[in-house]
Amino acid sequence: MTDLFSAGNTGNIELRNRIFMAPLTRSRAHDETDVPSDMAVTYYEQRASSGLIISEATQINKQGKGYIKTPGIYSKEQVDKWREITDAVHAKGGKIVLQLWHVGRISHTHFQPDGDAPLAPSAIKPDVDVFFDDKKQPASEPRAMTTEDIAQTVEDYGKAAKNAYDAGFDGIEIHSANGYLLDQFLRDSTNKRDDEYGGSLENRMRILNEVVDAVLETWDSSRVGVRLSPTGNFNDIGDSDPLKTFTYIIDSLNRYNLAYLHMVERFPGMPTDNKDLKIQETLRDVWNGFYIANGDYDYLTAKTAVESGYADAITFGRLYIANPDLVERFEVGATFNEPDQDTFYGGDKEGYIDYPFMDDK
């Protein structure tokens, strides 16, 4: 029987266990250059016993940024620092993939080159705030992307995927969830286009297909994953018929024989109604490959999900923030460090690389 501690593979990525580290924005990169900090090497190395580390969301280009101190993968400096991180993880026997990210309309002119408007499928301003310079500001009015903008963005995804390969990652994850750019194209609340990228499900998925095709120019499909959040409304997003929309999307992704599908099923502390649960169960059956479940799982619910065959692995977020040796704690039934929410985003080493291991106590 497969359990949380079973070895295996997701595509061609070998796994020591099914306890994965979720992508976690921590806002510790250098803000002017989007280069990960020296502390990030320690941070990821500390968590190398995870079956698979999925990196924090990492912008593919300068337009893809929407938060303070988030890292990029579009410059040589960034690639070089990420190489230090992957080398450190691999030296501990770990595996790590890079999550490719573009925030789309969840941004502010403060972050955009030359103070331009953020890019989006349609010029619909989100009802969200963004943070910079220790201030909270409403997101800026976005500009609807031209077909030339879309083509350039797809090309930048391809370049970012090549940079991730050069940085030594074991694979990549395409972030198409949580109300960011690719998710904005998929959902009918944020995509009101009347060209080949809007309207029908086929058209709304066109950019995601083009991004997958672009990254597959560098990576074998067995090392590429996609993240989706069909029932999520984070970042002021939604869809009139998520079951129909994401049945089409997931069924279409099946043809690529990807390494995995990473599904955001719920957000910590946010209620999930029975309708959403039924949608998720139905969509799970649509996917033919390795399935990673995410969303407020604890040890017992994760154990049940994997042993029942519902999920092939589980990603943990807050538990991994506070417990770098989460796998070892699960193995022996140890207590957990409590995460300090005040240090989740930004700051120094406190709440980032100073959480104690079991052996430190």
* Class of residue 314 by CB neighbours under 10 A (exposed 0-12, middle 13-18, buried 19+): buried
Distance CA 219, CA 300 (A): 35
**Catalytically annotated residue among 43, 67, 157, 180:** 180
Residue 349 per-residue DSSP state: S
Q: Which residues contact 306 (CB under 8 A, 6 or more apart)?
A: 2, 3, 4, 6, 18, 312, 313, 314
Angle at CA of residue 270, ends 267 and 271, nearest 5° = 120
> CB 60: neighbour CB atoms within 10 A?
28
Alpha-carbon dihedral sign for residues 298, 303, 304, 310 = positive
Helix-, strand-, coil-residue percentages of the chain, each rounded to 5: 35, 15, 45
Residue 264 per-residue DSSP state: E
**180: annotated active-site residue:** yes
DSSP string spanning 190-255? Answer: T----STTSSSHHHHTHHHHHHHHHHTTTS-GGGEEEEE-TT--TTT---S-HHHHHHHHHHHHGG
Q: Which residues contact 116 (CB under 8 A, 6 or more apart)?
A: 63, 109, 143
How much is the CA Rg of the chain, to the nearest whole Å?
Answer: 19
Q: Which residues contact 361 (CB under 8 A, 6 or more apart)?
A: none
Phi, psi of 339 (to 5 degrees): -70, 140
Q: Using DSSP, state whether 227 is helix, strand or coil.
A: strand
Which token pair is 52?
């698979």
The catalytic residues are 180
